[in-house]
Structure 1
Amino acid sequence: MKEAILYEKLADKKVKCHLCNHFCTIAENKRGICSVRENRDGVLYSLVYGKLVASGVDPIEKKPLFNFLPGTKSFSIATAGCNFRCLWCQNWEISQIARTSKDIPGRDTAPADVVALAIQQDCRTIAYTYTEPTIFMDFAIDVMKLAHKSGIKNVFVTNGYTSEEALREIAPYLDAGNIDLKAFKDETYRKMCGAKLEPVLETIRLYKKLGIWLETTTLVVPTVNDSEDELRHIARFIADVGVEIPWHISQFYPTYKFLDAPPTPISTLHRAREIGIEEGLRYVYEGNVPGTGDENTYCYRCKELLIERYGFKILENRIENGRCFNCKAEIDGLF
């Protein structure tokens, strides 16, 4: 437990958290929506500082990041907790446990230990992932500073609900991120996730403004966000922010509290990819369907195949010094 960053003290021993866009006002002996920040005697504490519930080595493609150091390894960490309550959360056992348990699990780990493990495993990046990294940013920023000193880059896999103040705080140490754009209807965010759409859109714009490499992901959920109209609105928004931003469209599988919807048809993912390209996006990837979707990177100018993938595995990479081997167009990202 450690005193939290980014909060203000109010009257009557209340506090206001500035970490995410919920901006919770928290009474004494209560927790915020994330359930991992607690007001004790008028002081806000992080209950998950250094308490890792998951860690391990992943291919960077699993984040997913396809245009950022492809083919490299990422040391991935998470604590318990989340500021969303998505009904189809794939990691609900660790993201939601703090809502139901007074005692929050986790292995005590120092920031220096995380960096040492990343170096030991020959990882080019540290990914803050699995749950929502914003809610353990107190710990993440200490790791990130040490990582940069060791030449390791930092990656957030996030729901995009980070406050502007918090994002600007970590921006000097954050090299890349993947933001989930779960839908393009505020009603869906409120009903399915317990949040709002507009703050996520603002975060996407701010990543671009701050120069942080950004990729986006939409889990295409039947009956929720799979209409052509909604997919086109998502693609058009991303393209308006930047046509170079990759869009990952992933297949849904029934899980957690959303068990009645079927898996996303492959044909829906194919159509979503077509829509993304029609709206001007340079890189659109189908996910969770290895071998049956389009996971490859193509040159946006001459259309040559540049990176051939099967799932998270790279079969061939024909990018040369960040450029297309054929027409020499500069390929967006870090290669």
Structure 2
Amino acid sequence: MPTNTSRRGLLFGAAALSGGALLAGCTSNESKDEDTGGNEQQVADDKPGKKVTIGFAGPQADHGWLNAINDNAKERAKKYADVTLESTEGSNDTAAQIGQVETLINKKVDVLVILPADGKALTQVGLKAMKAGIPVVNLDRVFASPQAYRCWIGGDNYGMGLSAGQYIGEKLKDKKNARVVELAGLDNLELTKQRSKGFDDALKNYPNIKKVARQAADFTVESGQQKMSQLLQAQKNFDALWNHDDDQGVGALRAIKQAGRDDFLMVGGAGALSAFQAIKADDGVLKATVLYPPTMAASAIDLARALGQGKGVSGMAEFEIPSFVTCYSAVVDKDNVEQYMPTGFK
């Protein structure tokens, strides 16, 4: 996979890893369990505790979602009086990021949160941190070895496609010979294949629906506009569009407006603020978007803090945090868009 400085080098092949669910907004739960002989489970909460220095090595903010990852991590760290965040300058260059992580290891931070520019290339430095006794929270793009991290948290690419397909399926289930098209991302990325597979699997439950066209774009506004124009020219009649990415969706919407088309519904992906605003306005084809939430970076800070303090997660019986946390790909439409509006990225 290329490791250039565009988003394509940072969109992730780690799809739906099964695992525990992180419960946000943890509260104190240090009561004694009579059935376990009075053992106390220490869980992370908002009250100041043991001081923890978290090293954060994130991406270069050259895309809305990536910028939101960095912002979510930094804002979450500010929430805790007992957390010091050592943040590197974001980089999509693997050699530079390896050097940044090694600097954090040499500083002897308590925990590391790493969104690698290239999961395979940074595996060795993840192993180095773990061997040095510094637990690693691997954010979204997974390392090649599970020994390189203590916990993985990330998005569900297959689930994105599944949710999009189910939403469209329910909207079109009573329409005879319904036709849908797909504006995918980069086809050489595993995440794109997973999103398309989830979408196709969902549509299998709706025999009245046929996918009649698919075009791969480039996760940019320009590519979205160009590829959507091609789809519109080739397909004069369809009922729904699923677009994998809200940033390229900005361009897709431009093409749709230029073509004067309003005869289908559109579902986006990721959770951009512009998409939420369009859904709320409800005056165009965009009716929903499927989340790939950048809030996972905030949750990664929560997990890192819990690791540094030797605590578990409220709402779970285990004394330790889970090994895997897969974020749910929720559908945001006009019925719940107000709830998600604060999480939208620019």
Same fold (TM over 0.5): no
Query: Which is strand-richer, 1 or 2?
Result: 1
Structure with the bigger RCO (C-alpha within 8 Å, sep 6+) is 2
TM-score by length of 2: 0.31
Which of these two proteins has the greater Rg computed from alpha carbons?
Answer: 2
